[in-house]
Amino acid sequence: MMKGALSPEAAAKLVPDGASVMIGGFMAVGTPERMIDALVAQGVRNLTVVSNDSAMPGRGVGKLVSAGAVSRMITSHIGLNPETQALMIDGSISVELVPQGTLVERIRAGGMGLGGVLTPTGLGTEVEEGKQVVEVDGERFLLEKPLKADFSLIAAWQADYVGNLSYLLTAHNFNPMMALAGRTVIAEPNAIVPVGVIPPDMVKTPGVLVDHLLVRANTGGQPWTQKN
Amino acid sequence: MMKGALSPEAAAKLVPDGASVMIGGFMAVGTPERMIDALVAQGVRNLTVVSNDSAMPGRGVGKLVSAGAVSRMITSHIGLNPETQALMIDGSISVELVPQGTLVERIRAGGMGLGGVLTPTGLGTEVEEGKQVVEVDGERFLLEKPLKADFSLIAAWQADYVGNLSYLLTAHNFNPMMALAGRTVIAEPNAIVPVGVIPPDMVKTPGVLVDHLLVRANTGGQPWTQKN
Amino acid sequence: MDAKELIARRVAREIGPGMLVNLGIGLPSLVANYVPASLAVFFQAENGVIGLGARPPEGMEDPHLTDAGGGFVSAVPGAASIDSAMSFGLIRGGHLDMTVLGGLQVDEQGQLANWKVPGMMVPGMGGAMDLVIGAARVIVAMQHSARGEAKLVRECTLPLTARRRVNLVVTDLAVIEPTDAGLVLREHAPGVSVAEIVAATDARLIIGDDIQEMIVA
Amino acid sequence: MDAKELIARRVAREIGPGMLVNLGIGLPSLVANYVPASLAVFFQAENGVIGLGARPPEGMEDPHLTDAGGGFVSAVPGAASIDSAMSFGLIRGGHLDMTVLGGLQVDEQGQLANWKVPGMMVPGMGGAMDLVIGAARVIVAMQHSARGEAKLVRECTLPLTARRRVNLVVTDLAVIEPTDAGLVLREHAPGVSVAEIVAATDARLIIGDDIQEMIVA
């Protein structure tokens, strides 16, 4: 199904206060920055953010934190954002810390219809607290629950209007898994190319998973006008 | 680490009678046929084969079945191979039938260090028999155990001498997951290209997972001789 | 029009614009022939492609691009290659809009049996159990009877494919919708009477007032 | 040579040919500087690349190719991009030959604490818990003491990263190997006496007869 591209402002309007949003990126590499800017401009509030980390002030998820848009985070690392740490300590943001490999598997499980993740990671640590332990052939594993969200906001390298996405180098990170686990998936590609241009073997997120694309950055959403 | 390429005969010699082997492919598409021919020629016996299906007589896994090399199969489908069906019914091959989506996740879990798979697939059917059911937030899931094997024999499109692999179209199927779950992984690529030629974003199996490559088919393993 | 074509043409009408659809091998695969290109439907083959197209001209087939039955296919513009983990992740995760599967039996609870006849035929479930669990809509496309035996039964005597109630059953005689109340007869095939359908059915059918004649694509 | 360089150079000697190695951010990342190219080691950054290379020349950095600390890197020939699920699948599944991590405390059981100082510093565990669980060999690279406090302790007072016993601890004073019997002192830094090491260590050390001077790469 062909998908028209939205302006960041129009896409941000889809996201109401109080929504849960998965946001791709690793230290803001592979994060949909224009989408985040539009959410900040809109003044969205009370988001639950699922993301690998809270980046740093002024970049990626850090901009949402600074804007006071986030009330809860499910994340593996906030160490490079002193604002998140301060807001967590004063109680303005509640933070659930999850081991990185567990976090990405929980997202995958949510997106792929699995009941949870059985992992040895976190056994015998604070991460185990309150969780079910499942024994398989005498070995113990933590049962970590699947994660889904109202929205997944992801960054990609190329998109076509079917919604197919490719990713570049370390900008993959959480994006392909989050594309599976958001009820509405909004992708901010670096470029949009005609359908048929991305080779099938380069597509890492099939278009059926993507609901909306953000327009190209460099044309402000205006297609080139044919003059001749 | 650079990997030299083995002849099919040398690679087959690594696989002893009684070994467990995962074999990539779906109805013999994406199956390492030269590797299988060498195993048949070697007269290997008593293999446990993990594969999506048993293909058809004369192709892929079907050649091993016809040769009497297989004593046990873990697979999702044997419907297009009457020989496998006959051997199962007369008791020569024991067959564990596994839903396809469960089979590939069990292999992934084995390769990725997870304790098992929690899936709704098979609940309330024969597949549930003898298995643990785990409840997560009031929903029931079957606990399916991880799978590993002594060898994974996989087919790929391009390889480099680091062992990086790319795949073509529907010849991906089980190969990328099996590359994670074999203690020794032998890949039969369609072509071997110099290191650095496969773009990092096209690599779907990183070379660290691959132990051995099969030589190119068309040179019989002899490198071109430089004459001038 | 023969029975299989009738069934395939009727099922095709269930498919809406832009859907992601998986067609089982055999009869269900015929459905693709009757879905207009204008609907921009994407067909998934669970062996690893989204955007399955028609068989290529002779000599242009490629052994790396087949459907789940091993038949040669093409890839439409916008197609994507996927491995089996992604393929079944899409299926199990609820991203597949519809699957069309063959059936051996469907019972009054709308449960499907289609993978095993104990002692006779044990092909294995392949992807069927995942498809029935995961697809948003499950349509069973089958002959109404086989070798004189009704396939719509009170309770499946063959091993179930899943506990889930399927959404619609399309046969060469009728269209039947499993509901909380039971199997509701919705449509009859051209020239087939309600009495003939009831006679060919072991399961109890709920017969509404507004039974239509099947309209086919 | 300063303390960090000493530690990094000593850790580098643990790395064998063709290994897949993950270096934590901070001190551990320095190790890469002392591993000879002839070893053909592949460095993994858990954010998504196998085959991490040096920082590119100024102006040639690319924002889509960074290490786990966000620093610009390059890709060596034969590099592979991986998403986070594959990255941690490799780690958890036992495909990573070695990880080098910083530490806050290591105790007599060889257990590591490195992700949280309750009430003071809560950066989060990031990938550390998976790395300690999954890597074939875990090496802790840390200063022997911090602000006058010993980091090798009888029992960790800080939250553990994992129950698993790490394989080796390399500090600016010593190389220590956790074993069934306890922490065994294997090497002393140049110019550092065993008595000085013992004095700077809270944990009990098993002192062998054959303690060597650290040899660094």
Residue B132: alpha-carbon gap to chain centroid? 27
Measured CA to CA, the distance from residue D144 to residue D14 in angstroms comes to 19
Is B80 near chain C, with CB under 8 Å?
Answer: yes
Tell whether A92 is covered by a domain. Answer: yes
Give the residue from A187, D208, B168, B161 showing the smallest Cα distance to C83. Answer: B168
Residue A225 clears pLDDT 50, i.e. is over it: no
Q: Based on the number of CB atoms within 10 Å of its own CB, is C163 exposed (0-12), middle (13-18) or buried (19 or more)?
A: middle
Tell whether B22 is covered by a domain. Answer: yes
Percent of chain C at pLDDT > 70 equals 100
Tokens for C112, please give them.
């499907």
Please judge whether A160 and C78 are an interchain contact, meaning their C-beta atoms are less than 8 angstroms apart.
yes
Tokens for A66, please give them.
């600074």
ipTM (interface pTM): 0.97
Tell whether B174 is covered by a domain. Answer: yes
Residue C204 clears pLDDT 50, i.e. is over it: yes
Is D58 marked active-site? no
pLDDT tens, position by position, A108-122: 999 999 999 999 999
pLDDT tens, position by position, C80-121: 999 999 999 999 999 999 999 999 999 999 999 999 998 888
Please judge whether D89 and B112 are an interchain contact, meaning their C-beta atoms are less than 8 angstroms apart.
yes
Handedness of CA A22, A24, A26, A31 (dihedral sign): negative
Percent of chain A at pLDDT > 70 equals 95
Work out the mean pLDDT of chain A and round it to a whole number: 94
Which residue type is seen at D214? M
Q: What is the pTM of this model?
A: 0.97
Is D70 near chain B, with CB under 8 Å?
Answer: no
Tell whether B221 is covered by a domain. Answer: no
pLDDT tens, position by position, C15-71: 999 999 999 888 999 999 999 999 999 999 999 999 999 999 999 999 999 999 899
pLDDT at C127: 97
Is B144 near chain D, with CB under 8 Å?
Answer: no
pLDDT tens, position by position, A64-85: 999 999 999 999 999 999 999 9
Distances (CA, A) of A132 to A122, A135, A142, C117: 12, 10, 6, 39
For chain B, how many structural domains are there in total?
Answer: 1
Residue C10 clears pLDDT 50, i.e. is over it: yes
pLDDT at D25: 86
Measured CA to CA, the distance from residue C187 to residue C212 in angstroms comes to 5
CB-nearest partner of A209 from C40, C91, C95:
C95
Q: Based on the number of CB atoms within 10 Å of its own CB, is B136 exposed (0-12), middle (13-18) or buried (19 or more)?
A: middle
Q: Would you tell me which residues 124-183 of chain D have a C-beta closer than 8 angstroms to some C-beta of chain B?
A: 133-134
pLDDT at A221: 45
pLDDT at A228: 40
pLDDT at B157: 97
pLDDT at A227: 46
Indicate the helix (H) or strand (E) that contains B129.
none
Domain containing residue D184: CATH number: 3.40.1080.10
Q: Based on the number of CB atoms within 10 Å of its own CB, is A145 exposed (0-12), middle (13-18) or buried (19 or more)?
A: middle
Give the residue from B43, B104, B47 showing the smallest Cα distance to B75. Answer: B104
- Find the domain containing A37 and state its range: 5-214
Q: Which residues on D lie below 8 Å from B209 (Cβ)?
A: 90, 95
pLDDT at A119: 98
Among the listed residues D46, D58, D155, D213, the single catalytic one is D46
Shortest Cα distance, chain D CAs vs residue A60, angstroms: 12
pLDDT at B218: 62
Domain containing residue A90: CATH number: 3.40.1080.10
Residue A222 clears pLDDT 80, i.e. is over it: no
Is B77 near chain D, with CB under 8 Å?
Answer: no
Shortest Cα distance, chain B CAs vs residue C69, angstroms: 7
Q: Which residues on B lie below 8 Å from D93 (Cβ)?
A: 111-113, 180
D120: CB partners within 8 A, 6+ apart: none
Residue A223 clears pLDDT 50, i.e. is over it: no
Asked whether the beta carbons of C16 and C39 are under 8 A apart, the reply is yes
Please judge whether A134 and B117 are an interchain contact, meaning their C-beta atoms are less than 8 angstroms apart.
no
Tokens for C14, please give them.
């269930």
For chain C, how many structural domains are there in total?
Answer: 1
pLDDT in tens, chain B (228 residues): 678 899 999 999 999 999 999 999 999 999 999 999 999 999 999 999 999 999 999 999 999 999 999 999 999 999 999 999 999 989 999 999 999 999 999 999 999 999 999 999 999 999 999 999 999 999 999 999 999 999 999 999 999 999 999 999 999 999 999 999 999 999 999 999 999 999 999 999 999 999 999 998 765 445 444 444
pLDDT at C152: 98
- Find the domain containing C96 and state its range: 3-213
Tell whether A224 is covered by a domain. Answer: no
Residue whose token pair is 């921009």: C40
pLDDT in tens, chain D (217 residues): 899 999 999 999 999 999 999 998 889 999 999 999 999 999 999 999 999 999 999 999 999 999 998 999 999 999 999 999 999 999 999 999 999 999 999 999 999 999 999 888 889 999 999 999 999 999 999 999 999 899 999 999 999 999 999 999 999 999 999 999 999 999 999 999 999 999 999 999 999 889 999 988 7
Residue A174 clears pLDDT 80, i.e. is over it: yes
pLDDT tens, position by position, C116-169: 998 888 899 999 999 999 999 999 999 999 998 999 999 999 999 999 999 999
Among the listed residues C46, C108, C187, C196, the single catalytic one is C46
